[in-house]
Chains A and B, each alone.
Chain A
Amino acid sequence: MGAAPVNRIIRFSSVDGPGNRSVVFLQGCNMNCRYCHNPETRALCIHCGDCVDGCPTGALSFADGEVRYDHSKCVFCDACIKTCTHDASPRIRHLTPEETFAEIVKQRPYIRGVTVSGGECTLYPDYLTELFSLCQKAGLHTLLDSNGTLDFSAYPELLKVTDGVMLDVKSWEASVHKAVTDLDNGDVLRALSFLASQGKLNEIRTVVVPGLVDAERTVREAARSVAPFLDKAPVRYKIIAFRPMGVREAYRAYETPDGAALNALADIARAEGMTDVVVV
């Protein structure tokens, strides 16, 4: 079974779904969100070699026109990521679903589930299907974190082994969505109602960036379209304040919204029938 580029695996996480979970970050994304909080996961390495010399521990080397990465030598100083001007990372390991699962299962007594994130993890649907079926067999709950560009209805096998999807709804207005991400939102909105209707939507996330996104309309419409399906599976609405930390230089100037504005958005989601709304 094909491998996927794994940026990293966090063994214990308290912020990627219910309970304690291991999180797999896959590399590569098909959107270009202005406020991306981990831009180094966006692209695949083009092996320009710029980052090799700055590595303090010799974890990086250059051979046969490729950057080689030695996981055992890395001290996770992030110097390479800061050097890279291609939104990439040299610290990618190409792992098969079985290899990935082997790293997850070590944590098993302590974790209740696995979340796969990115980048955009649904760029690797076959890998996900295989990984999640291994996880489900081991009794682990499976979530994936997606921007909604995959046509989930075309992947029934993946859906079968996925307990839920945490979906980013960035903007309800197509033109705004395009301005923020370079892509239309038609696929995202289709994914939203499809997943909700199948009881596979776990969480909606909207990042609030004053002056960039139409958060009010987005929260209202997203909540409204999902609320009728809440009896199929509970859905959390997570309203996330933009924070400049980690964001690319050019886009750091956006402001962080204040608490009152965020709570007003939460009230809108509740008024539309969402019961589990959190602001972070």
Chain B
Amino acid sequence: MREITMERVNETREKMLDVVKSRTLTHEQKVANMANLADSLLEVLELPEGLDDLLNRDITEGQCICDLCEGHAPLRPRYIVPDYAKFMKEGSKFLELPPPSDLYEALNSLLIFYKHVPSVTNFPVYVGQLDQLLDPFVQDVDEETAHKLIKLFFTHMDRTILDSFSHANIGPVPTKAGEIILDVVGELEDAVPNLTMKVDPALTTDDFILRGVKAALHTAKPSFANHPMFASEFAEGLSAGTDCGNYVIASCYNGLPYGGGSYTLSRLILGNIAKRAENREDFCTKILPEVCDIMARYMDERIRFMVEESGFFENNFLAKEGFIRRDRFSAMFGLVGLAEAVNVLLEKEGKSGQRFGHDEEANALGVRIMDVIRDFNAAHESKYCEISGGHFLLHAQVGIASDIDVSPGTRIPIGEEPVELHDHLQVLQHFHKYFASGTGDIFPIDLTVHRNPDYVLDIIRGAFKENLRYLSFYSADSDVIRITGYLVKRSEIDKLEAEQNVKHDTTALGMGAKHNGKILERKVR
């Protein structure tokens, strides 16, 4: 381990004391922050040359790569996606739980398991393909009992998983359990867990989607995933359930291999990278590939430490009992600010009137930039990402609360959305295809749609025909709203602004995004 200066130690000690004394952090949030600060003192990674200049800057001072506070000595993968189906079938030796035999035991076992799934947030980012996990047990009880138990189960999750990067999946096949889950989330209007419905035109019925749309108009979830698209991108081997594909949607909207996950996620801040370039040729042929290369080698080094040195895959019960498999992990090569990059490059050419999302040349430049990144990734070999062919998975990162003038992934900046939803969707068609490990767009929906949920159904069906990947909707007046990928209650943001404690750590992120990301100003459709 490398030496560090006493100055840095003292800076960190000051930050720790601030955390201890914070008036707004809950106990759990303090513990997590303290651990991150302690970790920040470690220096065990062999960092690629040039990284420091790109990474360790403020985002307003030209930061080009961001590692999303994963820490200096990764002690576990960022996102873990356990094989809950196996757990239902076999139970766990480590947790001393036999396989559940009824709905009561199934829900209880899952709640126990969740407390043992590590992640970057210390809360499980994936809580299971819940319809498939619960449906066999739901058949044995009357519907009222099932509804009540599942409602208690969801309430328990919301109050103990203190972070809305936690994600449940349902679909594409409609089931009794899936219907109950949709009804329950519609009634509860809670932020946790996030929920995705996998939609397959051949398997998912209009009724099931409409039930989802109605829930979403109340409580901003579920979101809708293009199942055939995701299913075709993840290698066969281990499925979350019948017709569920070999992938899951975890955290915000991240497509990840089932029974594995993602070691790490770093992101390119494309707008700032574009500022370093002289023109679009310089950007596409030199500057961007160089930054990609440094970020990729940084990620490889993090993965190497995790796999070869941390001992996680040898010692954690999840790996030992086969709930996760090392060879089902990949890593997410993220990006933000495509819109800003395009606009910066066009401004350099004196074309400041041509904006991303509105102008054909601007959109085409966006596509070219994405092709550069895709081609880079296709050529870069990452030793421990066997599950994705030895390459990373591209990810349109949703941004973090402190981002300023950075649009999530490939989104059109809030306030600049095309007037017509149709034009907006046509821009997205160019970009969703690149991101196997997730991208998505969010549409606040006008209240009149409560009377016509078929409107949203038609847009979902149309969008998936046009190869869009992932869509979220919420009603313009609902309390639970989607920030960038995760959910937060407006009423909780209000509490935090009044300096009261709130239980979910994501509320603070939502508050940041409200101010820096203008998320309450999205165009209502």
Contact = CB atoms under 8 A, between A and B. Distances in A.
Nearest to A76: B419
A14 B462 contact: no
Nearest to B450: A14
Given A12-B420, A12-B421, A12-B422, A110 B458 contact: yes
A280 interface: yes
Contacts of B452: 14-15, 18-19
Nearest to A19: B454
B422 A107 contact: yes
A112 interface: yes
A156 interface: no
B458 A111 contact: yes
A109 B467 CA distance: 11
Nearest to A16: B452
Nearest to A113: B458
**Interface SS, A side:** loop
Contacts of A106: 422
Given A19-B454, A109-B462, A110-B459, A14 B449 contact: yes
A19 B458 contact: yes
B261 to A, nearest CB: 34
Nearest to B419: A76
Interface string B421-433: 1100100000000
B249 interface: no
A20 interface: yes
A190 interface: no
B457 interface: yes
A69 B452 CA distance: 35
B276 interface: no
Interface in A111-131: 111-112
Nearest to A10: B420
B448 interface: yes
A111 B525 CA distance: 15
A107 B420 CA distance: 11
Given A12-B421, A110-B422, A20 B451 contact: no
A280 B422 CA distance: 26
Given A18-B454, A19-B457, A111 B448 contact: no
B455 A20 contact: yes
Contacts of B455: 12, 14, 19-20
Contacts of A110: 422, 425, 458-459, 462-463, 466
A47 interface: no
A271 interface: no
A112 B458 CA distance: 7
A17 B478 CA distance: 24
Contacts of B420: 11-12
B44 to A, nearest CB: 51
Contacts of B462: 20, 108-111
Nearest to A17: B452
Interface string A95-110: 0000000000011111
Contacts of A19: 452, 454-455, 457-458
B446 interface: yes
Interface string A178-219: 000000000000000000000000000000000000000000
20 contacts: A11-B421, A11-B422, A12-B421, A12-B459, A14-B455, A18-B454, A19-B452, A19-B454, A19-B455, A19-B458, A20-B454, A106-B422, A109-B461, A109-B462, A109-B463, A109-B465, A109-B466, A110-B425, A110-B466, A111-B462
Interface of B: 420-422, 425, 446, 448-449, 451-452, 454-455, 457-459, 461-463, 465-466, 525
Interface of A: 11-12, 14-15, 18-20, 106-112, 278, 280
Given A14-B446, A20-B454, 18 more contacts: A11-B420, A11-B421, A11-B422, A12-B420, A12-B421, A12-B459, A12-B525, A18-B452, A18-B454, A19-B454, A19-B455, A19-B458, A20-B462, A106-B422, A110-B458, A110-B462, A110-B463, A110-B466
